[in-house]
Amino acid sequence: MNVYQEIRKIVNEADGVLIGASNGLSIAEGYNLFADDSWFQENMGDFRSRYGIRCIIQGMVFPYHSQEEKWLYYSRIIKEKCIQNEPSQIMKNMYELVKEKDYFVVTTNGEDHFIPAGFLSERVFEMEGKLTEMRCSNGCCDDVYSSKETVFRIAEAEKKGEGLNKFLPKCPKCGGNMEVNYGESSSFVDQRSWQEKAACYREFVNRFRGKRLVALEFGVGRRNQMIKKPFMQLVSVESLAKYITFNKGEIYIPQEIQNKSIGVDEDIAIALDKILKVR
Ligand SMILES: [Zn+2]
């Protein structure tokens, strides 16, 4: 049995599937937060030359002078990289692999690609929020709103050369500026929706104690504390649990869980394709 057949068998026989995904999955889908790649140069070239911004993440934390500039930047990223006309083959394959199973997803990725691929929203925990949502920057309440309409209006206004001012989103409760609901921020964990999802995550993990749980990890770095560390701890204490990590060029499996782990040092797209083709 090759490694892909083995993975397919483990997933098929599992009682529950816990998926963890981070930056390496985004990169496999062509969304690289840290690269001055051709996409960034072609699509964000004006921000590149005006402010010296060299990658997506740098522009997300740049201290813009105005809300217009900030929303123009985010809108373009969201429209081009987060809102997909169709899910990528990677996301389709991942969903296909687990759709019949009892699954739960935890991710630090903000591009919101799981739910459009078919994953149920109540089973996806975006630990750092998502770019397709926004919140009040005054923190007057913990409500989050879809940012999609704003994104399309701003893109349309930019195309027509209109001012963006009247399209800038305002908080319906206090009238304050809105900001994208994404990124590391202490205010996050206070959000009701975040707390509810964190509780769902705990409930899922507890439900599969003593059962055949498989943790599938996609593109999570070696030092990741939010996803990798709890996954490895869980697998080490649960005798029937399995740990499968996909991360090209960066496989890390600690000694104590070696015997119940598989590392897939291959492009995620290729690996998923091979697993799906197992008969
Ligand atoms: Zn407000």
Q: pLDDT of 85-98, one tens digit each?
A: 899 999 999 999 99
pLDDT at 186: 56
Residues 43 and 76 sit within 8 Å (Cβ to Cβ): yes
Cα of 112 from ligand 1 centre, angstroms: 24
Would the pLDDT of 227 be above 90? yes
pTM of the model: 0.95
80: tokens are 């081009």
Cα of 174 from ligand 1 centre, angstroms: 4
Neighbouring residues of 23: CB distance < 8 A, sequence distance ≥ 6: 33, 34, 108, 109, 219, 220, 221
Neighbouring residues of 267: CB distance < 8 A, sequence distance ≥ 6: 28, 248
Cα of 192 from ligand 1 centre, angstroms: 15
pLDDT at 192: 85
The per-residue pLDDT for range 152-206, each reduced to its tens digit, is 999 999 999 999 999 999 999 999 999 999 976 556 767 888 899 999 999 999 9
Cα of 191 from ligand 1 centre, angstroms: 14
What confidence tier does 263 reach under pLDDT thresholds 50, 70, 90? very high
Torsion, CA 253, CA 257, CA 259, CA 262, rounded to 10: -40
Min mean pLDDT across 15-19, 136-140, 270-274 is at: 136-140
Cα of 163 from ligand 1 centre, angstroms: 24
Domains of the chain by residue range: 1-29+88-128+185-279, 32-86+131-182
Q: Distance (Å, rounded) from C-alpha 21 to C-alpha 158?
A: 33
- Which residues are within 5 Å of ligand 1 (an ion), measured at CB? 136, 138, 140, 171, 173-174, 176
> Where does 1-29+88-128+185-279 sit in CATH, by number?
3.40.50.1220
Q: Distance (Å, rounded) from C-alpha 182 to C-alpha 196?
A: 17
CATH class of domain segment(s) 32-86+131-182: alpha beta
Cα of 194 from ligand 1 centre, angstroms: 18
